[in-house]
Amino acid sequence: MKYYFTVPIYYTNGAPHIGHTYTTLVADVIKRYQKLIGNQPEYTTGTDEHGVNVERAANKLGKSPQEFVDTIADEFRMHWDKLGIQADHFIRTSSPEHQKTVQWMFEQCRANGYVYKGHYTGAYCVSDNLFATEAKPGEPCPICGRTLEAVTEENFFFKLSAFTDKLLELYEKHPEFIQPEARRNEVISFVKGGLTDLSITRTGISWGIPVPNEAPHVFYVWFDALIAYFTAAGGADWQSKGLWPADLHLVGKEIIRFHAVYWPAFLMAAGLPLPKQIWAHGWLLFDNDKMSKTKGNVVRPLPIAEIMGFDALRLYLMREVVFGADGNFGYEALVTRYNADLANGIGNLASRTLSMIHQYRGGKIPASDGDQHFAQLATETVEYVLEAFSKFEFNKGLDRVWALISATDKLIVERAPWKLVKDPDSAELLDRTLYTAAEVVRITCGLLAPVMPDSIQKLWHQLGCPSEVDQLRAAELHWGKLPAGQELRPVQPVFPRLDVKLTMEKLIEGELAERKRQDILLGREVKEEKPALDLAPEITIDDFVKVDLRVGQVLEAAAVKGSDKLLHLKVDIGEPEPRSIVAGIALAYKPEQMIGRKVVIVANLAPRKLRGLTSQGMIVAASIGEGLPVLAGFNEDIGVGARLK
C-alpha cells in the first residue's frame, strides 16, 4: 500500500541546522518503519527558493538568485546524504516542473472563482515573506520581530475568507486532520477569529514564478511553496502517479497555520483532494534555550555525524525528544546517551553474545528454542514498539527496546555462560542462553533499523544474516527465526565507548569550524571563536597542597543496595588495611570492571557515612556537567600509595 508524506521544503536563506535535521530525520524513520510493516512509502523534501530575501542575499554575494539557491540546495542535499536520509523526491521551487504546477493550480483556483485582482498597501515582513495586516510599517513583525517595510502594489488575492466555514467543518468532521491536539485547538481558534483574503502575488520583485500573461506579477511564497508537495506527486498529472492525497504532512509548529489553513483552502479552491493529516512537532532547544541565529546557539549536524557517526544523532533525537512537544538538545546529553545506550547497551550485548558463540560454539548459532520467557517478552516488545512507532511515539518504543536489552544483559550475568561451559551437564542450558541472547540481538536489530540503519546493518552482518537489514519485514520479527547453525562473521566493535571530555571538545571545535565554513559560503562576516571553560574560583598553592592525592588499586567492588549510582569499593593505597570508599560511578562502571583498576584517591578527606557505609576518601573522576563520570588513571605503571604532585 502506498504511503506518501512530506516534510517542509526549507527556505534557502541559510544552510541546514539541527532544526531542519530533526524534521527530516523523523520522516526518514517513518519511511523505514513503513517499509518494515510492508507498505510502499515515498516522501518529499526540498528547497523553497523564491522571495525578496533570496534576491537580496544573492545581490550581497554578487551572484544571481539562481546561482545562490543552487549553492544552498546542494548544501541540503549534501547534509541529507551524510546523515543517511533517503528522501524520494527533492523538489526545488525554481524547477520548471514546479513552475508548471503552480501556474496550473492558479488557473484552477481562478476558474473556480477564488482569485481576483486588487491593490494592497501595508506592512510587509521581508524575512517571513508575509504581509502583516494588523501592523504598521516600521513596527516589529508579529512573527519574527524584525522591522516591517511599507509596500504598495497591485496583487492577485485568494478568497481565503470564503473558506472559514468549510475549514471549521473539516476540523470538526476529521479531528485527526491536525495533530497534536494543542495545535488543532490553536488553528481552530485562529479560523474562528475570521479569515481575510490573502495576497498571493507581488509585482515589486522579479525572482519568482511568473503569473501567466500577467507580467510583472510573480507568485507570493506561500502559494508557491506549499504547492511543492503536489508537484512531487505529479502536479497536473497527479492521478496517474497514484501518490496524492498525501497521507501525512510533517511540519514545525511555527508554520502550522500555513499548512492547516492556507493549504487546504488552496486545494479546495482547485477542486483537489486534501491531505489526510498534518502533524506539527515542537522546537528543539539548545540546553533549554530556544535556538537562534542571533544568539549564535544554532547547532550544525555534520560535525556530530563526522565525530560520533550519524546514527548517534538519530538515536538521540528519536529517544530524547517526545514528538509533538519541544525537546532539548545538548552535546553532553548526546555523548552520555551514546555511552549509556550504544556502548554499554546494544553494543555491549551484541559484542559479548557473539564473542561467546564464537568462543564456546565455534561461531555457529546453537540449536535451541531459546528461553520461552524471553520469547514472550520479545513478542510483547515487538508488538509494543510497532504500535508506538505507528503513533510517532518513538521515545516510548525505544524505551521498550532498551528494557529488552537490559533484561537480556541481566540473564547473561545470572546464567554466567563462562561458568556453564565448564560443566558438561549444562550444555543444553548454555545453548539456550546463547540462542536467547542472539535472537534478542536479531529482533532488536530489526526494531532499531529504522532509527540507526548504518550501525545496525553492521551488527546484522556480524550476526551472519544473509540479507540486508532494510529488507527485513515485521513478520520476520517473530521469535525463533534465527536458524541453528547460522555462521557468524568476525566481531568488530560498532559502538566504542567515548571519552566524554575529549568528545565534547571535538564536537565544539567541529561546530565552530562548520559555522565558519557556512559563514564563508553565505558571505557572512567570519569571526574567530574559541570555547571558554567555566572554571571554579582561583586557589593558591597553599590550598592545593592540603589535598593528599594517592594512587590506589581496587581490590573489591559491589553495588550499594538501594542505589543505582553508588559502588562500594575496597581500595589498597599502601596502608595496612584497604580503604572503604563509596563512589557515585555505578552508571558508568560495573563492579567487575573495577577489580584491579588503578585509581586516584583523595586520601585525607574526612570520613562520612553513605547508605550506612563508611567512605574513607573520594575517588577522582571527570565529567562534563551532569554527564557520566570518567575515572582518572595512568598510562604508565605506578605503585599503590604513590602521591600525586
The reply to whether 11 falls in a domain is yes
- DSSP assignment of 183-202: HHHHHHHHHHT----EE-EE
Looking at residue 527, what is its pLDDT?
Answer: 66
In this prediction, residues 155-184 reach a mean pLDDT of 96
User: Which of the listed ranges 420-429, 602-611, 617-626, 633-642 does the model predict with the highest average pLDDT?
Assistant: 420-429
Q: Cβ-count burial of 543 within 10 angstroms (0-12 exposed, 13-18 middle, 19+ buried)?
A: exposed
Provide the percentage of residues in the chain whose pLDDT is more than 70. 95
Angle, CA of 98, 103 and 107, to the nearest 5°: 145
Does residue 66 have a pLDDT over 90? yes
Residue 535 pLDDT grade (very low, low, confident, very high; cuts 50, 70, 90)? low
Question: Which CATH number characterizes residue 617's domain?
Answer: 2.40.50.140
Does residue 218 have a pLDDT over 70? yes
The reply to whether 466 falls in a domain is no
Looking at residue 330, what is its pLDDT?
Answer: 87
Structure pTM? Answer: 0.79
Residue 540 pLDDT grade (very low, low, confident, very high; cuts 50, 70, 90)? confident
The reply to whether 494 falls in a domain is no
Q: Measured between alpha carbons, how far is 350 from 342 in angstroms, rounded to an integer? A: 10
In this prediction, residues 444-459 reach a mean pLDDT of 97
Q: Measured between alpha carbons, how far is 248 from 251 in angstroms, rounded to an integer? A: 10
Least confident of 46-55, 105-114, 165-174: 46-55
User: C-alpha 535: how far from its chain's center?
Assistant: 31
Residue 587 pLDDT grade (very low, low, confident, very high; cuts 50, 70, 90)? confident
Does residue 327 have a pLDDT over 60? yes
Provide the percentage of residues in the chain whose pLDDT is more than 90. 71
Torsion angle, alpha carbons of 101, 102, 106, 109, to 10: 70
Looking at residue 119, what is its pLDDT?
Answer: 84
Does residue 136 have a pLDDT over 80? yes
Q: Which of 232, 249, 281 corresponds to the end of one domain?
A: 281
Q: Across the chain, what does the average pLDDT equal? A: 91
- DSSP assignment of 221-282: HHHHHHTHHHHHTTGGGHHHHT-PSPSEEEEEGGGHHIIIIIHHHHHHHHT-PPPS-EEEE-
Does residue 530 have a pLDDT over 70? no
pLDDT digits (tens, 9 = 90+) for 261-319: 999 999 999 999 999 999 999 888 876 666 655 555 688 999 999 999 999 999 999 99
Closest C-alpha to 452, from 338, 587, 324, 301? 338
Does residue 625 have a pLDDT over 60? no
In this prediction, residues 137-161 reach a mean pLDDT of 87
The reply to whether 642 falls in a domain is no
Does residue 613 have a pLDDT over 60? yes
- Amino acid 132 reads A
**Which has the higher per-residue pLDDT, 622 or 212?**
212
The reply to whether 312 falls in a domain is no
The reply to whether 626 falls in a domain is yes
The reply to whether 190 falls in a domain is yes
Question: Which CATH number characterizes residue 149's domain?
Answer: 3.40.50.620
In this prediction, residues 89-113 reach a mean pLDDT of 97
For residue 303, cis peptide bond before it (omega within 30 degrees of 0): no
Q: Which of 263, 281, 299 corresponds to the end of one domain?
A: 281
pLDDT digits (tens, 9 = 90+) for 634-643: 877 888 888 8
pLDDT digits (tens, 9 = 90+) for 361-374: 999 999 999 999 99
Looking at residue 197, what is its pLDDT?
Answer: 94
Does residue 518 have a pLDDT over 60? yes
**Cell reading at 101:** 504546477
**Helices 372-390 + 18-36 axis angle, to 10:** 120
- Amino acid 479 reads W
The reply to whether 99 falls in a domain is yes
Least confident of 193-207, 315-329, 445-459, 523-537: 523-537
Q: Cβ-count burial of 580 within 10 angstroms (0-12 exposed, 13-18 middle, 19+ buried)?
A: middle
Residue 590's domain spans which residues? 541-631
Q: Measured between alpha carbons, how far is 129 from 140 in angstroms, rounded to an integer? A: 14
Looking at residue 269, what is its pLDDT?
Answer: 98
In this prediction, residues 11-37 reach a mean pLDDT of 93
Does residue 474 have a pLDDT over 70? yes
Does residue 558 have a pLDDT over 80? yes
Does residue 626 have a pLDDT over 60? no
Number of domains observed in the structure of the chain: 2
Q: Which of 248, 281, 314 corresponds to the end of one domain?
A: 281
